């Protein structure tokens, strides 16, 4: 298979299903020589902020001089974004080679007397871990794909586990209550490790604490061990002070907006400080430089200034609430036009309610993964309840163009509701600005 054929094969592999176990993941990794044992792992889960927190930890470790792998999902524009070493995406030829190797093992495992079918994320995870081993990575920052307990990444024995927070997501898979979801995500808590969490609600935190106590794992609750103070926000990000139990950091800069990103930064720094206790050499300067240079696009990312165009991956009610707060506190604008598409399994009512608090007008579109996109009628119902005007333009590129044409120089266009939509918008505006 060439690169395109390899990706086509991968994306046609089943993603979900009943009877999910880690057996196939562990087996293929064993066949590949258990590459996950070749690097120190930092395992990051949660509902929102896990990608940003992972990127911050990886950036700090890179600034400290280590060779760092970063594994995240989903991608915005290019599949290769998921697997990075030293900030650089995996080359296409390595993706092709690894997927061809894994396809052979995939077919062998299907042909067992008792078949062991691999799923999409098993394959990508195996390719990632093998690539990290080949590249001689010192530390891998590994973002959980879905849940935790039965996620393909949960074959790791991490130095530190991180759970950012818990919200309602994938309730059909993870369970209907926050405690159920916390139980699944808490599956990444391991013996001889440390858990760092920014979860605020006691009923959820207690699920983690009980699991950690039962296996003798230390727990660091970021809301109790850190304090932060936002100093300013400007076009390139925000400056804040941070105090932990171990250090004080004044005038830290992150090129990301919102109080939620300060919490993510506090979580990342807390995880790094736990790594320091395991004899990693990480200076205050590495923390400062790592945060300053973190790259994590489509999180309140400004891609155009006149009019102001902002992209965000917010894909649930908690995330859109964080965006709403940040827009009200950190951005100046006249009229706000929201370009929205949302997946059908999300809390669309809550998402629209949050966005409508800052939006004057909605343009409803569909993101590129149309099979998951909610029908416009579902969004229209909620927009009408909020008393806002709307129009429908199902082709996303035309929706972006329409929004920009409708916006005055002092207005804002906000693209929000889906990782897929944010990826579509990044591609559109990159082409437009480079034209």
**185, two tokens:** 């995500």
Nearest CA-CA partner of 202 in 185, 187, 223, 188 = 223
CA distance 157 to 402: 49
Q: What is the Cα–Cα distance from 77 to 368, expressed in whole angstroms?
A: 11
From residue 247, alpha-carbon distances to 250, 267, 298 in Å are: 10, 14, 31
Cα(167)–Cα(154) distance, rounded to whole angstroms? 20
State both tokens at 229: 């103070």
Quickly tell me which residue has 């891609």 as its tokens.
Answer: 303
Residue 333's φ and ψ, nearest 5 degrees, are -160, 165
Going along the chain from its start, the domains and CATH numbers come out as: 3-292 (3.40.1190.10), 299-434 (3.90.190.20)
Which pLDDT score, from 0 to 100, does residue 432 have?
73
Peptide bond into 74 cis (omega under 30): yes
Residue among 392, 383, 373, 311 nearest 351 (CA): 383
Query: Whole-angstrom Cα distance, residue 358 to residue 328?
Result: 7
pLDDT of residue 435: 42
Instruction: Strands of 244-360 (E only): list them.
Output: 248-254, 299-305, 308-312, 336-340
* φ/ψ (deg, to 5) at 250: -100, 145
Residues 365-381 as b or e (16 or more Cβ within 10 Å = b)? bbbebeebbbebebbee
- Sheet of 83-85, strand order: 88-89, 83-85, 68-71, 139-143, 40-45, 160-163, 194-197, 218-221
Both tokens assigned to 31: 């066949």
Structure token digits, residue 340: 């929205």
Distance CA(316)–CA(348), nearest Å, equals 8
Mean pLDDT in order along the chain per 10 residues (435 residues): 98 77 96 98 96 98 98 96 98 98 97 94 98 98 94 98 85 73 95 96 96 97 97 91 96 96 98 96 97 96 93 93 95 96 91 98 89 90 97 96 95 96 94 59
pLDDT of residue 287: 98
And the tokens for 8? 């086509």
Tokens for 41, please give them: 């792992």
Residue with tokens 């004057």: 360
User: CA 31 to CA 385: how far, in whole Å?
Assistant: 55
> Which pTM value belongs to this model?
0.94
Q: What is the pLDDT of residue 431?
A: 75
pLDDT at 368: 81
d(CA 186, CA 168): 15
E strands, 236-312, in order: 237-243, 248-254, 299-305, 308-312
b/e per residue, 289-298, with b = 16+ CB within 10 A? bbbeebebbb
């Amino acid at each position: 298979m060439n690169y395109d054929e390899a990706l086509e094969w991968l994306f046609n592999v089943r993603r979900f299903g009943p009877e999910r176990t880690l057996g196939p993941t562990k087996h293929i990794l064993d066949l590949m020589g258990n590459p996950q044992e070749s690097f120190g792992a930092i395992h990051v889960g949660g509902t929102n902020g896990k990608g940003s927190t992972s990127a911050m930890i990886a950036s700090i470790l890179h600034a400290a001089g280590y060779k760092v792998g970063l594994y995240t999902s989903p991608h915005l524009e290019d599949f290769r974004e998921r697997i990075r070493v030293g900030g650089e995406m995996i080359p296409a030829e390595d993706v092709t080679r690894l997927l061809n190797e894994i396809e052979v093992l995939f077919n062998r495992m299907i042909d067992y007397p008792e078949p062991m079918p691999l799923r999409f994320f098993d394959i990508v995870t195996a390719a990632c871990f093998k690539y990290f081993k080949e590249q001689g990575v010192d530390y891998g920052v590994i973002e959980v794909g879905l849940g935790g307990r039965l996620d393909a990444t949960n074959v790791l024995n991490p130095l530190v586990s991180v759970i950012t927070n818990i919200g309602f997501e994938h309730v059909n898979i993870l369970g209907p209550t926050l405690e159920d979801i916390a139980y699944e995500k808490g599956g990444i808590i391991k013996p001889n490790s440390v858990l760092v969490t920014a979860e605020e609600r006691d009923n959820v935190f207690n699920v983690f604490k009980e699991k950690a106590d039962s296996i003798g794992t230390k727990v660091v609750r970021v809301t109790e061990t850190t304090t932060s103070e936002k100093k300013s926000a400007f076009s390139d990000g925000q400056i804040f002070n941070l105090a932990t139990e171990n250090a004080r950091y004044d005038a830290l800069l992150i090129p990301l907006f919102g109080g939620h990103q300060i919490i993510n930064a506090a979580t990342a720094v807390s995880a790094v400080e736990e790594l320091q206790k395991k004899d990693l050499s990480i200076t205050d300067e590495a923390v400062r430089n790592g945060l300053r240079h973190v790259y994590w696009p489509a999180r309140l990312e400004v891609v155009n200034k006149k009019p102001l165009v902002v992209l965000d991956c917010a894909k649930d009610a908690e995330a859109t609430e964080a965006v709403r707060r940040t827009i009200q506190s950190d951005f100046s604008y006249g009229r706000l036009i929201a370009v929205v598409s949302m997946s059908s399994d999300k809390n669309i009512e809550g998402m629209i309610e949050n966005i409508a608090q800052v939006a004057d007008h909605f343009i409803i579109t569909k993101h590129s993964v149309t099979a998951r996109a909610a029908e416009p009628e579902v969004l229209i119902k909620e927009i009408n309840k909020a008393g806002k005007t709307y129009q429908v333009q199902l082709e996303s590129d035309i929706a972006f163009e329409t929004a920009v044409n409708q916006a005055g120089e002092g207005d804002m266009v906000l693209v929000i509701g889906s990782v897929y939509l944010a990826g579509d918008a990044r591609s559109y505006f990159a082409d437009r600005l480079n034209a």
